[in-house]
Amino acid sequence: MYVLELLEAASLLAPDDASAGDALTADDVWDYLAHDQWETALRLLEELGGAGPLPVGFWESMTEAARELRMERGAAWCGWRAAEARSGIIRAELVLRPAAGTGRRLPLPGAGVLKPMWNIGNRAPDGGPALNIAALWVEDTPELPPGGTAVVRLLPLIPSRWRHLAPGDVLTMHEFTPVAGTATVLETRPPAEPAGVVPA
C-alpha cells in the first residue's frame, strides 16, 4: 500500500476535534498530504495521537507508513502505540540505581527493546513475590544512564496481571538479582475501543 493511502487511512480514524500542541488539527494533515509532505503529516498525526486514545487501526497504518518512509524510530514508536491500544497504557517515573549497585554499566536503551522483570505486588504460589515482564519505552530520550530518572511507558507481556495498578503505586525493576530501579505509576489507561479497519 502506498504511503499516501496509509496516512489517509490513519487521518480518517483520528477524531475531527483532535488537536496537536500548536493548535493544528486533523484537517491540517490533509493539507500536508495534498502537498506530498508525508513525513510532516506523519509527525503531526503522531502528535494528534497523544491527545487521546485512538484505535489500533490508526497506529497500524502509521507504523506501516513510517516503515515505507524508512523512519525507523517512528515506526517503532507507532508499533508501540498500536500495542498500547490493544493492552492499555502504563506510564511511570523510573529512577535507575547507580551502576555500582546494579551491575549495569551501559545506558538503558529507550526504544522498547529492553524487557525487564517487575515486582508489581503479585504473589507466587509459595507466597513470595512474582515478577512480571514488561517492555520499557523511555519518553523523550533515546537512552537512560545508570542513576538517571525519566518518564517511561511499560508494555506488559501479560496485561491482565497489571490491571490492578493505579497512579501512585510503586514498582521495582529487576534485571539481575539486585533491584535495578524504582518506578512510581503516573497514569494508567484501559485498552482503546476497537474502531475502524486497517485497509488491505
Q: Which domains does the chain have, with CATH numbers?
A: 3-87 (no CATH), 89-189 (2.40.30.10)
Looking at per-residue pLDDT, the higher value among 76 and 16 belongs to 76
The predicted model scores a pTM of: 0.84
- Which comes out higher in pLDDT, residue 45 or 149? 149
| Cα–Cα distance, 118 to 130 (Å, whole number) | 8
- Residue 18 contacts residue 26 (beta carbons within 8 Å): yes
Q: Measuring CA to CA, which residue among 71, 145, 68 is closest to residue 104?
A: 145
139: enclosing H helix or E strand:
none
- pLDDT-derived band at 22 (thresholds 50, 70, 90) equals low
Amino acid at 64: E
Distance, C-alpha 64 to centroid of its chain: 16
Kindly report, residue by residue over 118-172, the tens digit of the pLDDT.
999 999 899 888 999 999 999 999 999 999 999 999 999 999 999 999 999 999 9
